[in-house]
Structure 1
Amino acid sequence: MRHRMLSRKLLFPADFQIPSRNAKQKAQKPEPELIYDAWLASRAMPGQTGSYLVPGAQRPLTLANARLALFVAQHCTLDFFKVLFRLNPLRTTLMMSLNIVRSLFPAFRGYSQALIVDELLSLIASDSFTWSRLLYPVSTELIRRAIEGCLDTFAASNENVVLGSARFFIEYKQMEQRVRLDVPTLADPTVRALLQESDLFARSFASGGFGMLSPLDFIHLFSLMTEIASHLFLIISLTRGAFQFGILFMSIFSTLLPLILPWFTCTNDQAESPTSAKEARANDRQERLRNLAYSDVYRPEIALFGLGDWILRSWSSARKIVLASEQPLYARPTSIIDQFNLMEFVFIIQNVPLLLLFQKSSASLGSLTVYRSSIQSLMYASRNLVTTARMAFQGIFLMSAYTASMKLKPRLNPKHEDALHYMTVHGGINITARNISYTYPGSSEPALRNISFSLKAGETLAIVGYNGSGKSTLARILLRIDDFDKGSLLINDVDIRRYNPAEYHSHLSAVFQGFSKFSATLKENVGLGNIDKINYRPAIETAVHLAEADTLVESLPNGLKTILETPGFESFSFAGSMNPELSQRHGLSGGEWQRVALARAFMRANEPGIDMLLFDEPTSSLDARAQNQIFDTIEKISKSPSGEPKKTVIFITHRLSTARRADKVAMMENGTISEFGTHDELVAQNGAYASLYRASV
């Protein structure tokens, strides 16, 4: 596509107007922004400025929305289908062609039946009826039906492949964008609504779910119109007199009632096929990985530990297994026997006794057969046309959400012309913060106010203070998880905003206060700290040992392979699955989970190139002895065997006895650093830190 990437914050007006031809030439906005504006305008509630429909709500069919849908269709539909066409060019061409050809089958079938009935009429009327003369038209119809059935079966099988690849592609791109976006981008409520509708589009695409857009909808619209036109042509060509008009009226009346009755009846759902253990595991794994990509809880560690590519690879392999098992649910090929429909052919033969009704008429029994089949098909096709058009109308706006969301750029990423590679210095990183302030979106009070301090490479900083003083917020800004509103932050004398966050994160390791509890094995929970060594058992065992978690591993039923139970996530059960692994999950206490989080951080902490370690309340659930052991380990990791500092260490703690280990201490109150210096200096000042320290010892 020839679109530019969105580079500014998504703060667009709701009163979007469709540009005129002259206005389009003068428009300054890049096209993706116009598509975003159209999407946002479609959600506006009439007469309520600033109020929008909830994500996924049906757009009312109004003139304004029709114009918006036309604008979106003109600007992104063709490019969107070009992308899908490139996935399977030959099969997609076949799919489109066969859908048009198959739309002519009903009319041709009705005409063929009329010929057979008229041939029967001629044989009976001639008084020379023989079974051998009847055999020819019957066998001709059987052969035609067999050929039609083979073509339908091939078309359905080909459609399976096309829709499967298209669905996987859309879902993959959606997952890829999700793991790429950062916390500040996802904090925007409008962006979240955009992503929700984009997700609806991705999850329902080609699957028939939610009644949303399918890549066949526009093809179906054309094929349905072709089918309707062919039936109308056939009916008009046969209606040449008052008697024929009478037959046509009677056929419409007799066909209308059975078509209306099904609208008031419920159909039984098809029984689900049993799910194998492999498919059940794949289902469970794809949902767990999707939960990682979509949950805000995991976002900081996904960014810090660079888990995006691993999530995509793992989800991709599991999703392919699931899609292979789901294919019959949304595009099951039909057999030749199903297509043949013997009862319909018997119905034609049952019309032969009506011959006596037409012996004195110019009308033929074949015309009655055509009327019945064509009118019935016409009714069904018209109803499907309306339904498909309605789904396409709603799907266009979901497609616009998907198109606009693919152009979102993480807000923490620097502009290309401003980007610099990470600057390495000996012994860790230098940090210089000057008047940093930050207010969370939707909040009126700043979380940080004029934060200023400096830290040399290899030094250790303890951040202490009361709850709610901004300690964890400062940690997230230092880790480049959140941005700041005012001030400057220099890392190795370079503005942190000029670093690519992914490159900067590759030189850090951390334990967050709200660390992630992944619904996975203990081995994966630890190994995610260094994804390149997730399958390297010695590295995982070393990290577990550093976190003093050896006893924990020994106590679990399956050791490192034990699947850990996490709050807020329930594994899915599937019909026919008998997979005990999915139900055997082991719960951990708060202290045990904290050791797992520490082991995850230690997976990377010992690696060369890691310049800073940040621990936010890493031992809050551990006893004093375990706390001292962990800090001894941190000190050992951060220094060379000769005692020379090699990593900068920052830890947040509510136990001030451990703050004495640090080279510098930052006392935070009401979102700012009120005191900064060594432990002895702050005690000597006899200020807030000294008071807090004396109260804790």
Structure 2
Amino acid sequence: MSTFPIRRKQRNRKGVFNPEDTANVRHTRVGIWDLYEEIDPKLAKIPGASRLETYLDLGNSLPFVWRMLKDVGSIRSCWTLLFGYLVMELAAALIPALSLWYSSQLLVIVEKAVEHRSVDQSILFKIAAGRFTCSCLKRIFVHIKRRLSVPLNQRIKQHYSAHIFSAMARLDVPTFDDPLIQRQLEAALPANSRSSIAWDTMQMTSRLVSTVVQLLSQLGVLVGVLREQQDGVLLALLSFVPALLHWNNVARTYFNPRIWAATTKNEEYIKMEGMKRVVNNASHRKEIVAGGMWEHLVKRYNSAIASIGDAASSYTEARTAYTVRDRLTIQSFLEEPMRELPQIVFTLRAVQHPAAIPLSLASLNLITQTTTSFSYVVFQFLAETGSIAEQFAGVRKLYEIRNIPNKIADGTIPYPENAQSLNQGVAIEFRNVSFKYPGSEQYALRNTSFKIKQGQLCVIVGSNGSGKSTILKLIARLYDPTEGEIYIDDREIRTLRLADLRRAMSVLFQDYTHFPLSIKDNIGLGDPAHADDEGRIKQAAALGGATEFIERLDEGFDTYLERPVRDHYSGLPEGTTTLFGRPVDYTNIRGVGGMESTNSSTLSGGQMQRIALSRSFMRSLVSEEPGVGLLLFDEPSASLDPTAEHDLFERLRQLRGNKTMIFSSHRFGNLTRHADLILYMNDSVVQEEGTHESLIRQEGEYARIWMLQARAFLP
């Protein structure tokens, strides 16, 4: 019996699944795992109701499917390729019925041979030639269809890759970080990187249509065959019953619409899996060796295995072992005996009419084989129709991600009125600002007020977690205040156009990132308008203090910080340490049976931070054009040595001109001596503000910490 094609589809049903809701959720112990299953969803006892919601939603998805077809039609040569693909699909769907017709003609020949003791060889050869031609045509149609599917898939995938890239790139920080948005984006992504939702939908739709054609054509031929054969209908029904029982067993397992979740609270198993990751992860290797940890890890791991015993398995393994116990149902028990009923009917007919044995045997083989094939197509059709509504819903989600609204609303007022004014800096004012990060109940900033005048150098100091970085993120409008207002040049920040505001500032955050691109691109993206200007890029690198070490690299500015495309190759001699100019990583042999080269850079933290600084300089200090009036630096020297830090601050002070500059730092150094304004923060509030001299005279917390840090450099 062939295995029926089963499609598992993750359904995003509305509502909440609560494992602790004992009225609607059943708890089952599966080895060391706890399985929670929805008991009876709404209308579950009504036949077909488990899919009712999905089918009702089909109408909402059809406009998006039509839009998809129009978009695909706009892609180069796609309609021509798609028409050829559909013709081959439909032609291949007619082959089984044609083969069945030729098989039925063999029965006619057998019947005549039994009756007249002779065979018409010319007809026999024609039938054999026809069957052979059918096989050849089917192979040709399938081959052409596959050849057409390659460029179709590639062009459609590229088109929707750009669609998804654009939809994701435009999202702001709080929107992108929202778990619901992440789930929506995930639902719009293809199940595998080799295809796309659009192409999968077109394939499924074409298969559904071809399945209908195959069913109708086979049914027409089968009815004609059964009508001419003694006991044909009975044999067909008996052959169909085992297939029906098999389908019911499979569908009950794979088409279960229930929502479920599984977890384990077994501390030994959790610790055992954690130790596996420790040993397998190369980043922990130095500490394992230097700390002499391996013997303890081995001992603890073996102890965990001994403690858990046979239950030490993944959920998939545990669930498989659990379900095997319940496989012997009445239906599964009857499935195999039912397969023998056609043979029993044949035997009884042979006893009654011995002379008809050859014809009955031929009829039995033809009918059972045809019925099995037909039942497979029927159940394939049911499987496809059960998935098509959900697949169409996937198309709708693919288009809906383009309309996800950002949480940070855009303003309407252009900024600034006069671009030349930015050369004199930007004035900033916080009025009773409070802020909580999404999902947090703790205030990151509480009732904060201060003013920074145009062209001032402001340094925000305080301990980690005091709210320094939050102030910079609010100025850049990565987030909006929970309470209070922020003013930029006496205009409420939320009224200004976002693109104008962000174009007027340059920001380097403490948690800066490096893109999996070349050093040249990493720096150039600081000013997208001049990202290809190598002269500006090198000037920015010099200001960031990165030129010297970049030029020592083999590929210089073309060096990738993290190569986004991995090298793949089979087993290599262990003496091979480099390939394509990159080191070979043999550790990957554990998981995939092959090896890959490492792609990450070996630059130090300080060097990586200098590249990030260079990206900021690319925008804020390299361009001679007016446009940037505010420079924000969040812990810009965290990974720099004292000499590099001193050089950096000197360059910043000398090159900033009259622009407003805001630093955040937990180190009180030379920079604070030159600050026009210092904000000392603690516990999410501004506790003290003023110049260095005025704060020292106050003898408050700033003065106390300044003296603590200064003593570290005194004899």
Output the TM-score relative to the length of structure 2.
Answer: 0.67
Equivalent residue letter for 1:407: N
- Equivalent in the alignment of 2:221: 234
The residue number in structure 1 matching 2:146 is 156
Partners of 1:256 and 1:590 in 2: how far apart?
64
1:412 partnered with 2:430:
no
Moved more, 159-168 or 453-462: 159-168
Deviations along 1:498-540, one digit per CA (max 9) or x if unpaired, are 3343332222222211111333433333233234444433222
CA drift at 1:658: 1.2
Q: Which residue of 2 aligns with 1:383?
A: 379
Partner residue, 2:666: 654
Contact 2:546 2:610 in 1 (8 A): yes
- Aligned to 2:51, the other structure's residue is in SS state helix
Q: Output the amino acid matched with 2:646.
A: N
Tell me the amino acid that sits aligned with residue 466 of structure 2.
Answer: S
CA distance in 1, matches of 2:93, 2:41: 28
| Structure 2 residue 31 is the aligned partner of structure 1 residue 67 | no
Q: What SS is found at the alignment partner of 1:655? A: coil
For residues 634-653 of structure 1, the aligned pairs below 5 Å read 634-639=652-657, 645=658, 647-653=659-665
Distance change >3 Å, CA 127–CA 542, structure 1 → 2: same
Q: Residue 620 of structure 1: which of 616, 621, 638 is its match?
A: 638
Write out aligned runs for 1:533-544 (5 A).
533-544=530-541
Q: Match for 1:374 among 370, 374, 391?
A: 370
Distance in 1 (alpha carbons) for counterparts of 2:20 and 2:188: 26
Q: 2:102 matched to 1:115?
A: no
Aligned equivalent of 2:606 = 591
SS of the counterpart of 1:564? coil
After superposition, the Cα gap between the structure-2 partners of 1:202 and 1:457, relative to the gap in structure 1 and judged at 3 Å, is farther
Instruction: Check whether the contact 2:93–2:210 (CA below 8 A) recurs between aligned residues.
Output: yes
Aligned residues of 2:247 and 2:379 also touching (Cα < 8 A) = no
Q: Which of 160, 169, 187 matches 1:170?
A: 160
- The residue number in structure 2 matching 1:297 is none
* 2:521 equivalent among 519, 524, 536: 524
* 8 Å Cα contact 1:114-1:365 kept in structure 2: no
| Map 1:403-552 → 2, pairs under 5 A | 403-414=399-410, 418=412, 420-423=414-417, 424=419, 425-426=421-422, 427-552=424-549
The aligned residue for residue 330 of structure 2 is: none
Alignment partner of 1:684 is 2:697: yes
Count of residue pairs the alignment pairs up: 551
AA of the residue aligned to 1:103? A
C-alpha spacing 1:527/1:73, structure 2 compared with 1 (3 Å): same
**1:447–1:153 CA distance, 2 compared to 1 (3 A):** same
- Correspondence 1:669 to 2:666: no
Paired amino acid for 2:653:
E
Residues 6-85 of structure 1 correspond to what in structure 2 (within 5 A)? 39=12, 41=14, 44=17, 48=21, 63=43, 66-85=51-70
Cα distance between partner residues in 2 of 1:522 and 1:620:
20
Helix, strand or coil at the partner of 2:510: coil
User: Contact 1:521/1:562 (CA < 8 Å) preserved in 2?
Assistant: yes
Specify the code of the residue in structure 2 equivalent to 1:234. V
Q: What is residue 232 of structure 2 aligned with on the other side?
A: 244
Letter of the structure 2 residue corresponding to residue 583 of structure 1 = T
Q: Are positions 1:185 and 2:175 aligned together?
A: yes
The alpha-carbon deviation at position 73 of structure 1 amounts to 1.4
Q: Is the 8 A contact 1:433 1:454 kept in 2?
A: yes
> 1:615, CA displacement in angstroms?
0.9
SS in 2 for 1:563: coil
**SS where residue 104 of structure 1 aligns?**
helix
Deviation at 1:143, TM superposition (A): 4.4
**How big is the alpha-carbon RMSD for the aligned residues of Structure 1 and Structure 2?**
4.2
Give the gaps of 5 or more residues in structure 1: 1-37, 264-356, 640-644
Report SS of the residue matched to 1:667.
Answer: strand
Q: Which runs of 5+ in 2 are unaligned?
A: 1-10, 26-35, 44-48, 74-78, 252-352, 573-578, 583-596, 711-715
Give the secondary-structure state (helix, strand or coil) at the position aligned to 2:686.
strand
The 8 Å contact of residues 460 and 663 in structure 2, kept in 1 or not, is answered as yes
Q: Distance in 1 between matches of 2:82 and 2:500?
A: 40
- Alpha-carbon offset, residue 106 of structure 1: 1.2
* Equivalent of 2:555 in 551, 554, 558: 558
Distance in 2 of aligned mates of 1:202 and 1:514: 31
Q: Distance in 1 between matches of 2:183 and 2:496?
A: 29
Provide the C-alpha distance between the structure 1 equivalents of 2:415 and 2:677, rounded to a whole number of angstroms: 28
Amino acid at match of 2:684: G
Partner of 2:187: 197
Q: Give the 3 Å change call, closer, same or farther, for CA 499–81 of structure 1 in structure 2.
A: same
Contact 1:465/1:669, CA 8 A, preserved across alignment: yes
C-alpha displacement at 1:602, in angstroms? 1.3
Q: Distance in 1 between matches of 2:237 and 2:682?
A: 86
Change (3 A) 1:71 1:499: farther
Q: Offset at 1:193?
A: 2.6
Confirm or deny that 1:214 pairs with 2:201. yes
In the alignment, is residue 611 of structure 1 matched against residue 629 of structure 2?
yes
**Displacement of 1:199:** 3.0
Say whether the 8 Å CA contact 2:112–2:118 is kept in structure 1.
no
Partner of 1:349: none
**Aligned 8 A contact 1:213 1:396 in 2:** no
Q: CA deviation at 1:396?
A: 5.4
SS in 1 for 2:403: coil
The superposition leaves residues 221-249 of structure 1 with CA deviations (integer Å, 9 ceiling, x where unpaired) of 34324423333332222223644346546
Answer with 247-256 or 143-152: which moved more.
247-256
Alignment partner of 1:600 out of 603, 615, 621: 615
Distance in 2 between residues matched to 1:663 and 1:584, nearest whole Å: 44
What secondary structure does 1:239 align onto? helix
Which residue is 1:223 aligned to?
A: 210
* One-letter amino acid of the counterpart of residue 109, structure 1: S
Q: Distance in 1 between matches of 2:179 and 2:604?
A: 34
Determine the structure 2 residue equivalent to 1:3: none
CA distance in 1, matches of 2:538, 2:375: 68
Q: In 2 relative to 1, CA 576–373 (structure 1 residues): closer, same or farther, beyond 3 Å?
A: farther
Is residue 96–residue 214 contact of structure 2 (8 Å, CA) maintained in 1? Answer: yes
After TM superposition, give the deviation of residue 671 of structure 1 in Å.
1.5
CA distance in 2: counterparts of 1:591 and 1:497, whole angstroms: 36
Residue 629 of structure 1: which of 647, 654, 671 is its match?
647
Paired with 1:528 and 1:91, the residues of 2 have a C-alpha distance of 39
What is the Cα deviation at residue 437 of structure 1?
A: 1.1
Deviations along 1:464-499, one digit per CA (max 9) or x if unpaired, are: 122221000111111222221121112233322233
SS at match of 1:452: strand
Report if aligned partners of 1:58, 1:394 keep a CA contact under 8 Å in 2.
no
How far off its partner does 1:126 sit? 6.7
Asked whether the equivalents of residues 679 and 690 of structure 2 are also in contact (C-alpha less than 8 Å), the reply is yes
Identity, % of aligned positions: 24
Tell whether the 8 Å contact from 2:446 to 2:685 is kept in structure 1 after alignment: yes
Structure 1 residues 563 and 359: alpha-carbon distance in aligned structure 2, compared to 1, 3 A threshold = same
- In structure 2, what is the Cα distance between the partners aligned to 1:86 and 1:399? 12
Do the aligned partners of residues 625 and 387 (structure 1) sit closer, same or farther apart at CA in structure 2, a change above 3 Å counting?
same
